[in-house]
Amino acid sequence: MVHLPVLFISSLLFAGNISGDYKLVKHNSVLSLYERWIPGAGGETVREIKAVFEVKATVPAVVALFRDQHQGREWNINASDYRVAAGNDAQHWITYIKYDIPWPMDDQDCCLLYHYREAAAKGETAEVEFLSTTDHRFPRLPKTTRITGTKGKWQMEPQAAGQLKITYTVTTDRSKTIPRWVSDPIIHDNLFRTMTKFKSLLENNHRYDR
């Protein structure tokens, strides 16, 4: 809810009116943030968040940043730990993220299975899907709430002049303990900060030029 990726952001989801259309909730010159309410797996109502922005990078560079555990804490706001483990093949991997969360919330962590789907042809959209999973390498920790029920994807669509249009969507199991007037500003602010840092790392760190 995450990887987020941004999973601390996506863990603060609350019930609302179901709507099939996204509503623009915040934007600036870099990022547009949308949300909508959809039926959850258990019949409850959950919020789906979508972030859209462009970055001057290649698809392999984006995937490399997802899998770079040394840089993971740089772009995942509030993350105190970011680890990557091998999956069953080169297209799959496991990401573990732990977040230091300020009062009144407990620290949180998540374990996600990622799946990279290459574009079917040049110029078409590539995807990285992720969902909650369990893995013996990342057991539950005391005094830390495990984020579950997370599902989402990163879509990467080539644009002109070497730009990629990135569309990030995520839903996860919701919490009912924090009122929306508290959670909404945190959600929006952290997502903006996370995506801005993600974009900056891609465009300014030459290790991802490939």
pLDDT at 41 over 90: no
Position 136 scores a pLDDT of 96
Average pLDDT over residues 77-88: 94
Judge whether residue 171 has pLDDT over 90: no
17 pLDDT above the threshold of 50: no
CB burial string 177-195: b at 16+ within 10 A, e below: eeeeeebbebbbebbbbbb
CA–CA dist 38, 17 (Å, integer): 8
Confidence at 10, pLDDT banded by 50, 70, 90: very low
Q: Which amino acid is it at 16?
A: G
- DSSP SS3 for 19: coil
Higher-confidence residue: 183 or 50?
A: 50
> pLDDT, tens digit, for every residue of 172-198?
765 555 445 445 556 678 888 899 999
Q: Is the pLDDT of residue 14 over 50?
A: no
Confidence at residue 4, expressed as pLDDT on a 0 to 100 scale: 42
Predicted confidence at residue 192, as pLDDT, reads 83
Helix, strand, or coil (residue 179): coil
pLDDT band at 112 (very low <50, low <70, confident <90, very high): very high
What pLDDT is recorded for position 30? 85
What is residue 153's predicted lDDT score, i.e. its pLDDT? 97
For residue 11, the model assigns a pLDDT of 37
How much is the pLDDT for 169? 94
**Mean of pLDDT values over 10-31:** 66
Per-residue confidence (pLDDT) for residue 98, from 0 to 100: 94
Neighbours of 206 (CB within 10 A): 7
User: In the prediction, which pLDDT does 139 show?
Assistant: 96
